[in-house]
Structure 1
Amino acid sequence: MRCPFCNSEETQVKDSRPTEENTAIRRRRSCAACGARFTTFERVQLRELTVVKKDGSRSPFEREKLERSITIATRKRPVDLEQINQMISGIVRQLESRGEQEVNSDTIGELVMEGLANIDSVAYVRFASVYREFREAKDFEEFIGELHGDVTSGSGSH
């Protein structure tokens, strides 16, 4: 494992233990060259997934990218890091267990929306605003109206 600080390949594992949800091995490492300490995670990967984006382009699935977008949506919200990690692991397991090598970005987005809806409604709306490309305030109003089951008739009468 290469040191993220000095790029030396002389690193040693000081401690290994499973994560709380037993989906990965957490390893504390030390660099022999610069003395820096860092943590790595080892996960089982059932298959290589390719994401098919809306424009038809393809790119390798990256758990870190999924983690980043969920972390942004949950920033400054009362959401535990463990909840986020469990949600991400669940999404990855669902994607890998489909048996298909390619997965549409829409499928990933819907799984994230479903997970966030169960964790935090504000994070859910934040993610939806990017995922569904809200352009103006009324897009938020309509989405939140759908959340609450409100039906707007547009007739102006109450």
Structure 2
Amino acid sequence: MKDSRPAEDHVAIRRRRFCPACGGRFTTYERVQLRDLVVIKSNGRREDFDREKLERSIRISMQKRPVEPERIDQMISGIVRRLESMGETDIPSKTIGEIVMESLARIDTVAYVRFASVYKNFQAADDFEKFMSELRPDIPPEEQA
């Protein structure tokens, strides 16, 4: 026996299942995958797209931020749908990073800066200063602190 309905984010199917052998009940979530995506890394290496890896990196940048988990889930699903609907199966990691940064910038500036610091591989405080001056070009550097 199973009971199916859309999950809260409306991009997955939530199924309540019953095992006739043991009598246990459990829930599964199923997502529609439009196509298998391959990520082209900056060194030319190819690897299968991993939604969980994307989700982990976004959730790390969103740690302790005042954003509802449902909003984060919606953002992740939106990014994946956007990647799947690009028409290409091979997607450069740079493209994924840019889309993630664009999405984070709309939701939370701190998470955006956190993600960018890893994505752009900041090595020194000067890298942050330069990035922040690009983020807020209309504010003189001495007033940004």
TM-score of the superposed pair, with normalisation by structure 2: 0.85
- Residue in 2 that maps onto 1:133: 121
Q: Could you tell me how far 1:80 is from its partner in structure 2? A: 1.0
Which range is displaced more, 65-74 or 93-102? 93-102
Q: Does 1:85 align with 2:73?
A: yes
* Aligned pairs, number: 140
Residues 61 and 130 (structure 1 numbering): CA distance in 2 closer, same or farther, change over 3 Å? Answer: same
Distance in 2 of aligned mates of 1:117 and 1:141 = 17
What percentage of aligned pairs have identical amino acids? 64
Residues 54 and 38 (structure 1 numbering): CA distance in 2 closer, same or farther, change over 3 Å? Answer: farther
Q: Does 1:58 align with 2:10?
A: no
TM-score of the superposed pair, with normalisation by structure 1: 0.79
Q: Does 1:110 align with 2:98?
A: yes
Bigger Cα Rg? 1
- Residue in 1 that maps onto 2:136: 148
Residues 28 and 126 (structure 1 numbering): CA distance in 2 closer, same or farther, change over 3 Å? Answer: farther
Q: Could you tell me how far 1:74 is from its partner in structure 2? A: 0.1
Q: Does 1:95 align with 2:83?
A: yes
Listed one character per residue, the Cα deviations across residues 94-114 of structure 1 (whole Å, up to 9, x for unaligned) are: 111111110000000000000
Between 1 and 2, higher relative CO (CA 8 Å, sep ≥ 6) is seen in: 2
Alpha carbon RMSD of aligned pairs, Å?
2.3
Structure with the bigger percentage of helix: 2
Paired residue type of 1:82: E
